[in-house]
Amino acid sequence: MIFGYARVSFSDQNLDRQLKELEAFGCDKIYSEKQSGKDFSRPVYREMRTKMRFGDVLVVHDLSRFGRNKQEIRNEWKSMIDEDIDIVVMNMPILDTRKYKELEGVGQLVSDLVLTLLSWMVDEERNRIKTAQREGIQIAKEKGVYTGKKKKYHAGAKGKDKIIYDQVIQLLAAGESVKQTAEKTELSRNTVYRIKKEIEQLNFESNDS
C-alpha cells in the first residue's frame, strides 16, 4: 500500500497543495495533520505508522514535511528501512528508496549522503527561524512595542474564552485539582496554574486592603 503523509506546523496553514500532489502520485491512503515537526510523536503520524507493513511505501512532498530534527529524521528513516518500508520524497527524486532495490548497499549510501545534507539544512532552517523570532522580539522590546502573546481566559475575556475561564474558577473553587481542572476544560496545566495564581493574588490583595 502507498501511504501519503502531509503536514504543516500551524492551524492557519494550508494542506491543500500537499494533499493534491499526494493524490496525483496515486497514494492509496493519505494522512494529514497540523503539528510541529520537532519529533515524531505526532498522533496522526503515529497512527499511520501502526498501519504500515513490509512492502508498503511512504510518500511525502519534501523532507521538512517528514520532520524537522536532524537526528529524529535519520532515526525514523532507518527504522522504516529496517522494516522494509520504502520512502519517497517527491521534490527530491534521488530520495526514492524503491530505485535501489537491485543495488545492494547503494540505496543506503545515497540515503545517508543526501539525508545528512538535507536534514542538516532542515535543522538549520528551523534554528534560523527561532533565532529570527528571538531577535525580533528583542528589538520590539527595546522599542517598547512588544506586548507578548495575547492572553486568553481572563476576567475580562469575551465569549467562549470567558465561559471557559469561569468554568476554571468554579472547578478550582469546588476543590478540583489543577490536573482535574485542566482535563475537564481541555486547557494546559500551565494555563490553569496561571489562572489559579491570578485568583490567589486577587484574593490576597482583597483581604489585605
| Catalytically active residues, by annotation | 9
CA distance 30 to 153: 36
Taking a C-beta distance cutoff of 8 angstroms, is the pair 6, 62 a contact?
A: no
Question: b/e per residue, 84-102, with b = 16+ CB within 10 A?
Answer: ebbbbbbeeeebbbeebee
Amino acid code (one letter) for 64: S
CA distance 183 to 80: 35
Taking a C-beta distance cutoff of 8 angstroms, is the pair 8, 15 a contact?
A: yes
Question: To which residue does cell 503536514 refer?
Answer: 7
User: By C-alpha distance, which of 190, 140, 147, 150 is closest to 168?
Assistant: 190
Question: To which residue does cell 503523509 refer?
Answer: 5
